[in-house]
């Protein structure tokens, strides 16, 4: 166990990020590396091994946090690594990317600073990888059943790994030319280097999972084109199908001037930057170099655009958020242990602040229109302050920002509407525009038996940790459907939501 007085003796100390100047000069992850083991073991010793570990309530995976804290405190990296993988297929991703609702739920948060759970997680998996613990776990016997997983984001990958290990023959069908979903082409290298993803895919291949890339299941316009596959035919060939196609329907900004050159969807921009890192291009077709950049949308995607723009050499960066600036503390309707909407600074915000000496965000404001130059390229963005609740414009607050590149990071409204996937599988939409499913992940719809929906496609825009949890749970449902019973864990039900103060399940809190 951990030191019973550790939390009294040891102050919280997160692993340090590299200096801003240094990390803006490259694309490597923001954190420093291996010399951190003593620090992390000491930090893990702050865990109180609570009788009721509330950190669990924050994590949809049911991670065994006090157990791996104890192993990390004693530098027993093998045991810690195994406990980490008991509940999570890709801890190297959550350890880097998760906003760590477990830390906001940690009991220490009531009157002190929480355990650095996320840092401990990342360090355990990195140390395990360094020691060669990552080996394939192929099944002992094969079931003779076949499963098609459509989409290779974290939900599809988690489902595929669980089902392969349960003995089924699993093929992952991916529209893009590389595996990984948003882990590959959305999330930038400085948050998670792609080598981590590649290593996991190699493990899955060695276990027997088959990957097919460049295959648009359903076809881009619902017709059979090169690289497309008919979803109904695929269902006919397999014993079960898992639809894990994400929530790729992008929100638009229908204001005057939207058609000007230099205004792009954030995902197009981030994909270009990630392709350069993959070696596809020497220079990105969309770049922030030498431009004033305005990012419309206050979330994680916008923050990722900011870190990317800074590394590309933007002259200035501003991020617009329609929501008012959150306060530093929990409000009464967001008590411990719920995940509160407090003022947070991402690494990218920190980088911009370090360079420009101010928070790069403007809160409670909305875009009115764009202005262009003679060549039809955007040169200015007009904005207005808005009321905090109704979001209606406040008269007399209009102002103008220079803008040579505008990135729209307004979120997503469910799985893509184009393409024939939905029609060919007979999938229904729920009231929010996501693929409808029952509590056990089975798709709703006339032609849908044996079809399951996992990840953002069913939940709506969410987090990597929820995608992995959904993939694991959907795999358990598929295994039961195919064999009549299952030993696979199901950490969440399809309609579970993050905890709120009222116990009500609110959509999209994370």
Residues that bind ligand FAD (CB under 6 A): 97-98, 150-156, 173-176, 181-182, 186-187, 191, 216-218, 244-246, 270, 300-301, 304, 419, 421, 455-457, 462-465, 467
Minimum Å distance from CB 150 to ligand SF4?
A: 36
Tokens of 96: 């880097």
Phi/psi for 39 (5° steps) reads: -60, -45
- DSSP state string for 200-228: HHHHHHHHT-EEE-S-EET-TTSS--TTE
Locate all alpha helices (DSSP H) within 11-58, ordered by sequence: 20-24, 37-44, 55-58
d(CA 196, CA 207): 17
d(CA 340, CA 500): 9
> Closer to ligand FAD at the Cβ: 338 or 467?
467
Phi/psi for 109 (5° steps) reads: -65, -20
d(CA 81, CA 123): 10
Minimum Å distance from CB 78 to ligand FAD?
A: 27
> Closer to ligand FAD at the Cβ: 98 or 338?
98
Tokens of 223: 């017709």
Phi/psi for 157 (5° steps) reads: -65, -40
Please choose which of ligand SF4, ligand FAD, none residue 406 contacts, taking the beta carbon within 5 to 8 angstroms, the exact cut-off set by kind.
none
Q: Does 317 bind ligand SF4 (CB under 6 A)?
A: no
- Starting at the edge strand found earlier in the chain, the sheet holding 146-150 runs 210-212, 169-173, 146-150, 240-243, 451-453
Minimum Å distance from CB 106 to ligand SF4?
A: 3
Q: Which of 354, 460, 474 is nearest to 19 (CA)?
A: 354
Minimum Å distance from CB 435 to ligand SF4?
A: 34
> Closer to ligand SF4 at the Cβ: 5 or 507?
5
Q: Does 48 bind ligand SF4 (CB under 6 A)?
A: yes
Minimum Å distance from CB 468 to ligand SF4?
A: 20
Inter-residue contact 106 to 26 (CB < 8 Å): no
Minimum Å distance from CB 69 to ligand SF4?
A: 6
H/E element, 169: strand 169-173
Please choose which of ligand SF4, ligand FAD, none residue 347 contacts, taking the beta carbon within 5 to 8 angstroms, the exact cut-off set by kind.
none
Please choose which of ligand SF4, ligand FAD, none residue 125 contacts, taking the beta carbon within 5 to 8 angstroms, the exact cut-off set by kind.
none
> Closer to ligand SF4 at the Cβ: 27 or 336?
336
Minimum Å distance from CB 333 to ligand FAD?
A: 24
Please report, for residues 79, 81, 311, the alpha-carbon distance to residue 86 in angstroms, rounded to integers and kept in the order given.
11, 9, 37
d(CA 56, CA 117): 11
d(CA 281, CA 274): 10
Q: Which of 428, 458, 461 is nearest to 441 (CA)?
A: 458
Which residue stretch of 53-61, 162-170, 325-333, 456-464 sits at the interface with ligand SF4 (rule: CB under 6 A)?
53-61
Question: x/- site string to ligand SF4, residues 28 to 47, per CB under 6 A?
Answer: -------------------x
H/E element, 93: helix 91-97
Q: Does 232 bind ligand SF4 (CB under 6 A)?
A: no
Please choose which of ligand FAD, ligand SF4, none residue 48 contacts, taking the beta carbon within 5 to 8 angstroms, the exact cut-off set by kind.
ligand SF4
Q: Which of 405, 442, 403 is nearest to 425 (CA)?
A: 442
Inter-residue contact 94 to 88 (CB < 8 Å): yes
Q: Which residue has the tokens 């200096």?
A: 19
Question: x/- site string to ligand SF4, residues 86 to 115, per CB under 6 A?
Answer: --------------------xxx------x
Please report, for residues 418, 426, 430, 478, the alpha-carbon distance to residue 421 in angstroms, rounded to integers and kept in the order given.
8, 8, 16, 19
Minimum Å distance from CB 457 to ligand FAD?
A: 6
Which residue stretch of 21-29, 48-56, 268-276, 279-287 sits at the interface with ligand SF4 (rule: CB under 6 A)?
48-56
> Closer to ligand FAD at the Cβ: 181 or 262?
181
Chain residues 110-149 in contact with ligand SF4, contact rule CB under 6 A: 115, 117
Q: Does 50 bind ligand SF4 (CB under 6 A)?
A: yes
Please choose which of ligand SF4, ligand FAD, none residue 173 contacts, taking the beta carbon within 5 to 8 angstroms, the exact cut-off set by kind.
ligand FAD
Q: Does 338 bind ligand SF4 (CB under 6 A)?
A: no
> Closer to ligand FAD at the Cβ: 2 or 88?
88
> Closer to ligand FAD at the Cβ: 257 or 458?
458
d(CA 306, CA 470): 29
Minimum Å distance from CB 485 to ligand SF4?
A: 32
Question: x/- site string to ligand SF4, residues 54 to 83, per CB under 6 A?
Answer: xx---------xx--x--------------
User: Total number of residues binding ligand SF4 (CB under 6 A)?
Assistant: 15
Minimum Å distance from CB 2 to ligand SF4?
A: 8
H/E element, 422: helix 421-425
Cross-strand bridge partners of residue 442? 452
Q: Would you tell me which residues interact with ligand SF4 (CB under 6 A)?
A: 47-50, 53-55, 65-66, 69, 106-108, 115, 117
């Amino acid at each position: 166990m951990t030191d019973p007085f550790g939390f009294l003796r040891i102050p919280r100390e997160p692993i340090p990020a590299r200096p801003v100047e240094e990390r803006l000069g490259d694309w490597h992850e923001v954190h420093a590396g291996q010399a951190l083991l003593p620090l992390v073991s000491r930090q893990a010793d702050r865990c109180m091994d609570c009788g009721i570990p509330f950190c669990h309530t924050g994590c949809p995976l049911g991670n065994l946090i006090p157990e791996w804290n104890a192993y990390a405190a004693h530098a027993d990296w093998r045991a810690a690594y195994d406990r980490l993988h008991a509940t999570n297929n890709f801890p190297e991703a959550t350890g880097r990317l998760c906003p760590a609702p477990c830390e906001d739920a940690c009991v220490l948060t009531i009157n002190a600073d929480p355990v650095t759970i996320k840092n401990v997680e990342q360090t355990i998996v990195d140390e395990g990888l360094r020691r060669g613990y990552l080996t394939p776990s192929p099944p002992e016997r094969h079931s003779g059943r076949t499963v098609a997983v459509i989409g290779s984001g974290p939900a599809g990958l988690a489902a595929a790994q669980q089902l392969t290990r349960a003995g089924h023959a699993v093929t992952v069908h991916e529209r893009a030319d590389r595996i990984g979903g948003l882990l590959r082409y959305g999330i930038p290298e400085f948050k998670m280097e792609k080598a981590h993803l590649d290593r996991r895919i190699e493990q899955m291949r060695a276990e027997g999972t088959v990957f097919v890339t460049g295959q648009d299941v359903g076809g881009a316009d619902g017709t059979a084109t090169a690289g497309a596959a008919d979803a109904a035919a695929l269902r006919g060939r397999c014993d079960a199908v898992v639809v894990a196609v994400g929530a790729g329907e992008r929100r638009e900004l229908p204001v005057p001037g939207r058609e000007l050159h230099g205004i792009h969807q954030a995902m197009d921009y981030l994909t270009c930057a990630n392709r350069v890192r993959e070696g596809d291009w020497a220079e990105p077709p969309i770049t922030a170099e030498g431009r004033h950049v305005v990012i419309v949308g206050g979330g994680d995607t916008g923050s990722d655009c900011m870190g990317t723009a800074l590394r590309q050499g933007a002259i200035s960066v501003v991020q617009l958020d329609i929501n008012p600036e959150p306060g530093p503390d929990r409000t009464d309707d967001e008590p411990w242990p719920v995940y509160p909407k407090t003022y947070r600074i991402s690494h990218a915000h920190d980088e911009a602040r370090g360079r420009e000496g101010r928070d790069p965000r403007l809160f409670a404001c909305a875009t009115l229109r764009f202005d262009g130059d003679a060549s039809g390229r955007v040169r200015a963005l007009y904005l207005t302050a808005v009321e905090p609740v109704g979001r209606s414009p406040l008269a007399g607050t209009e102002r103008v920002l220079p803008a040579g590149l505008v990135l729209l990071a307004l979120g997503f409204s469910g799985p893509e509407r184009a393409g024939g996937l939905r029609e060919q599988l007979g999938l229904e939409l729920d009231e929010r525009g996501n693929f409808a499913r029952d509590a056990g992940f089975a798709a709703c719809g006339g032609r849908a038996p044996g079809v399951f929906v996992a990840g953002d496609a069913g939940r709506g825009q969410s987090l990597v940790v929820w995608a992995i949890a959904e993939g694991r749970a959907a795999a358990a449902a598929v295994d039961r459907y195919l064999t009549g019973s299952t030993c696979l864990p199901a950490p969440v039900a399809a309609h579970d939501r993050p905890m709120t103060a009222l116990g009500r399940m609110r959509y999209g809190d994370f």
